[in-house]
Amino acid sequence: MLVLLLLSILMTISAANDPESFQWENRLIILFQLDENEAIRQLNEVYQNSSGYTDRDLKIIFLKTEIPDSKFSEGLENLLVTPENPQEWISYFRLEEIDTPMYILVGKDGGKKLNEVEMIPNDILFRVIDAMPMRQREMRKETERGSGILRKL
């Protein structure tokens, strides 16, 4: 019984770190091949509006990126993900041939929505996400809940 429980826990941990485990649950910002200064700049952008990232179900993924000192990520732990098997992520998103730093937005459907070689400012990021059909539905549901209007299907 104990062996089954431990096996179940280990399977859950590894599944949570697999790219497909985020599909339909989270949008992702992949920081690929960034140096520490670039990563710090992006984390500073996240700090400016971390609630906007949470509202949009965003997670920040570090791939082949120098992870900044913990003082730069303090308070953002629930948004940051460091994959156990980065090569799996690199293969999944077909990043093997890319040799420049990239900022990649991945939608909840698992598709790439934005590829940039420069940091993505919050206003642009949020505008792109808020224009997505799935996000539009989420915002309508939030508005309906906030106004006390719940439709029965």
pLDDT tens for 25-70 read: 999 999 999 888 898 889 889 989 999 999 999 999 989 887 777 6
Task: Calculate the CA 126 to chain-centre distance.
Answer: 13
Give the residue extent of every domain in the chain.
Answer: 21-146
Instruction: Say what percent of the chain tops pLDDT 70.
Output: 82
What pLDDT is recorded for position 144? 83
* CATH superfamily label, 21-146: Glutaredoxin (3.40.30.10)
CA atoms 60, 66, 70, 73: torsion sign: negative
pLDDT for position 92: 93
Provide the pLDDT for residue 143.
84
Shortest CA distance to 87 belongs to which of 27, 19, 40?
A: 19
pTM: 0.79
Q: Say whether pLDDT at 134 is over 90.
A: yes
Instruction: Say if residue 8's pLDDT is above 90.
Output: no
Q: Which residues lie closer than 8 Å to 103 by C-beta, 6 or more apart?
A: 29, 30, 31, 32, 34, 42, 114, 115, 116, 117, 118, 119, 120
Dump the DSSP string for 42-81: HHHHHHHTHHHHHHTTEEEEEES-PPPPHHHHTT-TTTEE
